[in-house]
Amino acid sequence: MPSHRKFSATETDSMVRGVGGLNGPQTQDQKGAIDTMMMVKTPENISFQYEISGPFYRFNAYIVDLIFAFGGYFTVVALFYFILLIVVGLVNQSLGISAAFFQLFAGITFGLVLVGFFLVYWFYGAYMETRFNGQTLGKRLCGIRVISVDGHAIDGVQATLRNFFRFLDIMPIVPLQMLLGSDSQVLFAIPTFLIGLVVMSLNRKFQRVGDLVAGTVVIFEEKKYRPDLIEFDDERVPNLADLIPADFVASRGLTQVVAEFAEKRKYLGPQRSADIAKHLAVPLMERFGIPADTDPDLFMCSLYHRLFVTREGDESPMGTEKELVKASVPEELETGSEL
Amino acid sequence: MKVAELIKRRSPFWKELEELSIQMGGRLSKVDPAYVSRFTTLYRAACADLALAESYQLPPQTVEYLHRLVGRAHNQLYRSQGYQFKGWAKRIFSDTPRLIFNDPCIQIATVLFWGLFLLAAYLSYHTTVWPGFSEAVVGVDGLDQLRGSYNQFGGNRGVGSGAFMMGYYIQNNATIGLQCFVMMLLVIPGVVVLSYNAIYLGAVFGFMFRPDSGAASENFQNFVTAHGPFELTAIILAAGAGLKIGLSWMMSDGLNRKDSLLKTARESLPIVMCAVVLFVLAAMIEGFVSPLGDFPWWGKGTVAVGSSCLLMIYFVVLGYPAAWPGGEEDGF
């Protein structure tokens, strides 16, 4: 029995699933528990994951929105009155404005400002999220987006509901008077966001009350990920990879574990990564006849190099590699219809 | 094929899809069909790559990247549908009134509001039944202020201040209504808000209708008549819609609690939007018609009767179910 089969099928399986689990309902639960991932199945019958955004990250977006919506609104109003005053001043100088007309104008504009405030307060988020596919300005800047729990885009009803119920999420609102003593004349009140925070921490998808009511979830979208393979600067890596026998075929589980290790080792110190590597590296080195004093970490890197960079593809269960490649790339892509 | 080679070969397509997703994410108008067609081709290819990632034995980092890529493209492909104005006429004039007509929660809210309102008005009107009731609810200063302000009432406020007051009433009253709707999710806070408003209003009405209020009483009646029907109905509708949501997750009626909540919230939104519209109508009347001092009382009474009739037509005529247990041919 080859030594690398020391991992039982279920062990390697769970390791693999913990990384890039592809199918099966249990994957979602296992992964969700650790990494706040959400699995979505598309109409194309493809399953993919979203990373769910947590409360504190979303708070940034909320602050940006608050500044944008209300700061923007008050700026517009101030500008409007500034221009209006200049115009009124000029007209008054040349023609003269009656007090009644002035009163009429002031009344109408003040009324409109109040209605505008009401609209911005209750409908800014709803409008933005509907118009811009689940993103307000703040969410866009923070690279997050609101989607339905089933993975589809949200609609107007959901956007409106989740923004209405924000009023409950910011509760309890503490009047500043309560903190400063009742003599103070400050009427300002501070929203504590406690209900929202507690509700979010009680469910796996970090849904606040508004999200639960509307059936929405906030996900990360624009985090930077790279598709490339890991490159090692160390010259010894390819050399050592050459020592691995050409007829060595790695199981799927082993391949995944090696890749996982290679990607995570940059977060580990040299001692720690050697410790982790040796469980797999030492028996394999023994089998390949590689000197036992080789750095296990280095060996794992070489194995990665061998498996992903220099290895010729092995028979896959679903057909030859060439057939698969052909199946997945439509012809128009291969011929390259450029725009 | 080597994995490295495969990734190298596909990367340009993935990058192109990423670029297109970014471009489409920022779009404000229609996109060129050629882009859409290219986008969907790339999207399908990326989906296929992701589906076959295990067969290709792609490393986790690449798989992760593909998950993001497909997710992102998916969000651009299936964009939010916006507000679909087409179905709105049916929703406004057929679905919503039927929903309201049939809804037990709105009936509960109506009974609760009017019951407390009338009780408070009675207690406040009769000084002997519960002495000091109105003072306890509104406060002595508040009552003095109220009487004072309605003693001076009677001038014609003009269009300018009418418009300002209309804006103020929309802001203030619709906000209270929406807050009541939202608080009703937890039922008790919402019931407290609704009851408080009912008792407060009842106490004010009872107090102002007392015979010793003099001119203030007459002015008060003159002021509140016209906009009363719309405004009070709006509060009840907002509260009833909220109560529907609040009870839905407690009494889920065979569904799981979350689904029941989602379904009911979706149904309740048109009702609360109806309430917002009524608040706006009430504010228009309250801003422009109610303060007219020289407008005869019967004129305002006519406005009140007219608005009540409109409400009746909306709730009863339009709302009367076409066939029991109809009104659910298509659902929401």
Does B175 contact chain A (CB < 8 Å)? Answer: yes
Q: Is residue B277 pLDDT above 80, yes or no?
A: yes
A32 or B88, which is more confident: B88
Does B29 contact chain A (CB < 8 Å)? Answer: no
Residue of B nearest to A211 (CA): B262
- Inspect the interface and report whether the beta carbons of A111 and B81 lie closer than 8 Å: no
Residue of A nearest to B5 (CA): A309
pLDDT recorded at residue B128: 82
Place of tokens 């659910």: B328
Contacts of A50 in chain B (CB under 8 A): 67, 71
Give percent above pLDDT 90 in chain A: 20
B248 or A226, which is more confident: B248
Does B38 contact chain A (CB < 8 Å)? Answer: yes
- Inspect the interface and report whether the beta carbons of B52 and A327 lie closer than 8 Å: yes
Strand segments (E) across A66-159? 144-148
Of A104, A130, A333, the CB nearest to B83: A130
- Inspect the interface and report whether the beta carbons of A161 and B269 lie closer than 8 Å: yes
Cis amide leading into B33 (omega within 30): no
B310 or A44, which is more confident: B310
- The pLDDT tens digits of the residues spanning B28-58 come to 566 778 888 888 888 888 888 888 876 777 7
pLDDT recorded at residue B32: 77
A199: closest CA of chain B, how far (Å): 13
- Inspect the interface and report whether the beta carbons of B178 and A164 lie closer than 8 Å: yes
- As a whole number of angstroms, the distance between CA B64 and CA B73 comes to 14
Of B25, B167, B272, the CB nearest to A110: B167
pLDDT (average), residues B311-326: 75
pTM: 0.76
pLDDT (average), residues A127-153: 87
Residue A146 is classified by DSSP as E
Q: Long-range pairs for B199-202 at CB < 8 Å and ≥24 separation?
A: B199/B116, B199/B117, B199/B119, B199/B120, B199/B137, B200/B120, B200/B137, B200/B138, B201/B117, B201/B120, B202/B116, B202/B117, B202/B118, B202/B119, B202/B120, B202/B121, B202/B122, B202/B123, B202/B124
Contacts of B281 in chain A (CB under 8 A): none
B306 or A188, which is more confident: B306
The DSSP element (H or E) to which A51 belongs, if any, is strand A47-51
From the list B86, B84, B107, B87, the residue with the least C-alpha distance to B315 is B107
Name, of A118-122, A223-227, B79-83, B101-105, the range with top average pLDDT. A118-122
ipTM, interface predicted TM-score of the complex: 0.81
CA dihedral for B217, B220, B225, B226, sign (positive or negative): positive
Q: Read off the pLDDT band of A36 (50, 70, 90).
A: confident
Tokens read off for A175: 């009047």
Listed range (A18-22, A119-123, A238-242, B49-53) with the worst mean pLDDT: A18-22
B129: closest CA of chain A, how far (Å): 34
Q: Is residue A138 pLDDT above 60, yes or no?
A: yes
Contacting residues for B121 by C-beta, under 8 A, at least 6 apart:
B202, B203, B205, B206, B209
- Inspect the interface and report whether the beta carbons of B48 and A133 lie closer than 8 Å: no
- Inspect the interface and report whether the beta carbons of B3 and A229 lie closer than 8 Å: yes
Q: Is residue A28 pLDDT above 80, yes or no?
A: no
For B57, list phi and psi in degrees, rounded to 5: 55, 45
- The pLDDT tens digits of the residues spanning A245-294 come to 777 777 778 888 888 888 888 788 888 888 888 888 888 888 888 887 88
pLDDT (average), residues B167-177: 90
Q: Is residue A328 pLDDT above 70, yes or no?
A: no
Q: What dihedral angle (degrees, nearest 10) is formed by the CA atoms of A336, B1, B2, B3?
A: 60
Of B45, B55, B83, the CB nearest to A316: B55
Of A114, A156, A164, the CB nearest to B170: A114
The CB-side HSE value for A328 (13 A sphere, CA atoms) comes to 24
How many beta-carbon pairs below 8 A join chains A and B?
Answer: 248
Q: Is residue A227 pLDDT above 50, yes or no?
A: yes
Of B1, B60, B72, the CB nearest to A325: B1
- Cβ proximity of A15 and A27 under 8 Å: no
pLDDT recorded at residue B129: 79
Q: Is residue A6 pLDDT above 50, yes or no?
A: no
Q: Read off the pLDDT band of B84 (50, 70, 90).
A: low
Q: Is residue A320 pLDDT above 70, yes or no?
A: no
Q: Is residue A97 pLDDT above 60, yes or no?
A: yes
pLDDT recorded at residue A218: 93
- As a whole number of angstroms, the distance between CA B307 and CA B296 comes to 17
Of A145, A225, A318, the CB nearest to B68: A225
Q: Read off the pLDDT band of A162 (50, 70, 90).
A: very high
Q: What is the mean pLDDT of chain A?
A: 77
Cis amide leading into B229 (omega within 30): no
Q: Read off the pLDDT band of B155 (50, 70, 90).
A: low
- As a whole number of angstroms, the distance between CA B15 and CA A227 comes to 10
pLDDT recorded at residue A186: 66
From the list A202, A182, A180, the residue with the least C-alpha distance to A190 is A180
Place of tokens 């390819």: A238
- Cβ proximity of A23 and A10 under 8 Å: no
- Cβ proximity of B8 and B56 under 8 Å: no
